[in-house]
């Protein structure tokens, strides 16, 4: 029997859903390469530990970092690796649904489809990320009722209003979790004169970060390199500093949400006010970001349960629809 699978090809995380089994893979979208031979050494978890720690001849990269397939061959290799890992020996080729950002161009769509087909898929379909996110969050998207989804990943934030199974208005910006980390690095450089690494910045964000000053302050000691003496130095950073540090990228996310609301037809605005905004993706876990979006828009906002797995769950659910698709359809969320 062939196994149909759904892939959430995220800029930070790849999740694979196998029909009948659920999510079987959840690994960072990282690939380690030997620069001299261009050979791929490791993919996923094993490659992630190498990020920022590789010797001269090895480089660990995130090929989807900017939300599009900029490094086509590496991406293809990564897709193949995960399809194989999910399916075991491929006697029967699987049908594959891959989730893509809503702002993707036709050229990029082609690149994703080709990559999956080259990687061993019998047929490849695409689903737009916000549609999958909404499905995974348990929203009935087929009804003539507007829902707004804000998916904040590593590389992109995808905002969309969905009704009758399709995207009515959307926006995708390249500001998400990675930009939050970069803003924390810039802040530590500016305020503490210390250069910290990306993983340290991410740790600060997850452990003590917030979009809004926390009621109970928290603190963390982190290590970096002093920019004045050039020596290792420990800094004490408190949660009250983070909303300041994150102001720029968070403002960009909020402005994008507001711009989608501004472009939403009035009838659907009414629906969104009653249904509220649903947030998905790892970036939506930033403490109190939901509260800030609610404050800025005046629309009640909640983070979906299992926010990080929503898109993969939705992609999995949409596997059920494959048999009823019209011949030749590729993008199943576009009609």
Ligand X SMILES: Nc1ncnc2c1ncn2[C@@H]1O[C@H](COP(=O)(O)OP(=O)(O)O)[C@@H](O)[C@H]1O
Binding site for ligand X (CB under 6 A): 10-13, 153-155, 177-178, 202, 205-206, 281-283, 285-286, 308
Strand order in the sheet with 58-61: 40-43, 31-34, 58-61
Question: Residue 266: which residues within 8 A CB-CB, separation 6 or more?
Answer: none
Binding partner selected for residue 100 from Mg ion, ligand X, none, CB under the kind-specific 5 to 8 Å limit: none
Binding partner selected for residue 205 from ligand X, Mg ion, none, CB under the kind-specific 5 to 8 Å limit: ligand X
Token pair for residue 31?
């690939």
As to burial, measured by CB atoms within 10 angstroms (0-12 exposed, 13-18 middle, 19+ buried), residue 36 is exposed
Nearer to Mg ion, 10 or 136 (CB): 10
Q: How far is the CB of 11 from Mg ion (least distance, A)?
A: 7
Q: How far is the CB of 67 from Mg ion (least distance, A)?
A: 9
Binding partner selected for residue 202 from ligand X, Mg ion, none, CB under the kind-specific 5 to 8 Å limit: ligand X
Task: Decide the pairing of beta strands 22-28 and 31-34.
Answer: unpaired
**Using rule CB under 5 A, residue 103 touches Mg ion:** no
Q: What is the Cβ-side half-sphere exposure of residue 250, based on CA atoms within 13 angstroms?
A: 24
**Using rule CB under 5 A, residue 153 touches Mg ion:** yes
Cα–Cα distance, 271 to 259 (Å, whole number): 17
At 98, is the secondary structure helix, strand, or coil?
Answer: strand
Cα–Cα distance, 192 to 262 (Å, whole number): 39
Cα–Cα distance, 217 to 75 (Å, whole number): 41
Binding partner selected for residue 63 from Mg ion, ligand X, none, CB under the kind-specific 5 to 8 Å limit: none
Nearer to Mg ion, 126 or 311 (CB): 311
Q: Of the ranges 50-58, 74-82, 153-161, 284-292, which one interacts with Mg ion (CB under 5 A)?
A: 153-161
Q: Which of 9, 58, 6, 56 is nearest to 31 (CA)?
A: 58
* The binder of Mg ion chosen from 6, 9, 10, 150 (CB under 5 A): 10
Nearer to Mg ion, 196 or 310 (CB): 310
Q: Of the ranges 48-56, 59-67, 145-153, 185-193, which one interacts with Mg ion (CB under 5 A)?
A: 145-153
Token pair for residue 80?
């193949």
Beta strands in the chain (DSSP E): 5-9, 13-18, 22-28, 31-34, 40-43, 58-61, 95-100, 123-128, 147-152, 157-163, 166-173, 194-195, 219-226, 232-238, 277-280, 301-303
Pattern of binders to Mg ion over 246-285, x per CB under 5 A?
A: -----------------------------------x----
Task: Decide the pairing of beta strands 40-43 and 58-61.
Answer: unpaired
Binding partner selected for residue 241 from Mg ion, ligand X, none, CB under the kind-specific 5 to 8 Å limit: none
Q: How far is the CB of 159 from ligand X (least distance, A)?
A: 14
Cα–Cα distance, 104 to 111 (Å, whole number): 11
Binding partner selected for residue 155 from Mg ion, ligand X, none, CB under the kind-specific 5 to 8 Å limit: ligand X
Nearer to Mg ion, 194 or 289 (CB): 289
Q: How far is the CB of 117 from ligand X (least distance, A)?
A: 22
Q: How far is the CB of 154 from ligand X (least distance, A)?
A: 4
Q: How far is the CB of 281 from Mg ion (least distance, A)?
A: 5
Q: How far is the CB of 211 from ligand X (least distance, A)?
A: 10
At 173, is the secondary structure helix, strand, or coil?
Answer: strand
Nearer to Mg ion, 128 or 241 (CB): 128
Nearer to ligand X, 173 or 268 (CB): 173
Nearer to ligand X, 103 or 154 (CB): 154
| Residues engaged in binding Mg ion (CB under 5 A) | 10, 153, 281, 311
């Amino acid at each position: 029997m062939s196994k149909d699978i759904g892939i959430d090809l995220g800029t930070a995380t790849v999740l694979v859903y196998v029909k009948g089994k659920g999510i079987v893979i959840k690994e960072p979208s990282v690939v380690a390469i030997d620069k001299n031979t261009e050979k791929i050494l490791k993919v996923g978890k094993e490659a992630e530990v190498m990020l920022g720690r590789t010797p001269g001849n090895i480089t660990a990269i995130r090929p989807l970092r900017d939300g599009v397939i900029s490094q086509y061959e590496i991406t293809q290799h990564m897709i193949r690796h995960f399809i194989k890992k999910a399916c075991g020996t491929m006697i029967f080729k699987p049908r594959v649904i891959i989730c893509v950002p809503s702002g993707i161009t036709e050229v990029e769509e082609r690149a994703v489809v080709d990559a999956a087909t080259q990687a061993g898929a019998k047929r490849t379909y695409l689903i737009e990320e916000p549609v999958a996110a909404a499905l995974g969050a348990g929203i009935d998207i087929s009804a003539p009722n507007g829902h707004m989804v804000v998916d904040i990943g590593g590389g992109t934030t995808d905002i969309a209003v969905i009704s009758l199974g399709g995207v009515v208005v959307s926006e995708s910006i390249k500001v998400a979790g990675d930009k939050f980390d970069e803003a924390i690095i810039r802040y530590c450089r500016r305020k503490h004169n210390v250069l910290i690494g990306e993983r340290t910045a991410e740790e600060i964000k997850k452990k003590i970060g917030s979009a809004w000053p926390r009621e109970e302050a928290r603190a963390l000691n982190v290590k970096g390199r002093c920019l004045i003496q050039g020596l290792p130095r420990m800094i004490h950073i408190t949660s009250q500093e983070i909303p300041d540090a994150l102001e720029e990228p968070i403002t960009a996310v909020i402005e994008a949400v507001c711009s989608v609301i501004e472009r939403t037809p009035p009838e659907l605005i009414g629906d969104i006010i009653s249904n509220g905004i649903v947030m998905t993706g790892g970036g939506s876990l930033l403490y109190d970001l939901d509260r800030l979006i609610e404050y800025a828009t005046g629309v009640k906002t909640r983070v979906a349960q299992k926010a990080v797995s929503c898109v993969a769950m939705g992609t999995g659910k949409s596997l059920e629809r494959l048999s009823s698709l019209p011949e030749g359809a590729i993008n199943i969320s576009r009609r």
